[in-house]
Amino acid sequence: MLKPLGDRVLVEIVEEAEQKTAGGLYVPDSAKEKSQRGKVVAVGAGKVTDEGKRIPMDIKEGDTVYFAKYGGTEVSLEGKNYSLLSERDILAIVE
């Protein structure tokens, strides 16, 4: 598994259920939009300020989050899709 550094967060992308058009046709994976929801599987220690102080992360492992559509770097490990994001790319935590 990857261990994010600094203010980075590793999110397992939650794939959306199969999509069907109004006419009953299934939308192929190549035409689907990238999911913006995922489960946090690893969190870095937090950002370090210019003064050397570490700012703790607001995100923790196990959180379900929504993230910026084009943020982060996509990573594939052991057949699963992940996104490696900066904390600022996390838009919301699902409660």
pLDDT over 80 (residue 90): yes
Q: Is residue 44 part of a domain?
A: yes
Average pLDDT estimate for 74-85: 92
Q: Is residue 55 part of a domain?
A: yes
pLDDT by residue (tens digit) across 18-74?
Answer: 565 567 666 665 555 667 899 999 999 999 999 999 999 999 999 999 999 888 899
Please report, for the domain that includes residue 82, its CATH number: 2.30.33.40
Rama region for 22: left / alpha / beta (φ>0; ψ in -120 to 50; rest):
alpha
What is the pTM assigned to this prediction? 0.78
What's the domain range around 85? Answer: 8-15+31-94
Q: Is residue 39 part of a domain?
A: yes
Q: How many domains does the chain have?
A: 1
Helix (H, G, I), strand (E, B) or coil at 4: coil
Q: Is residue 75 part of a domain?
A: yes
Identity of the residue numbered 70: Y
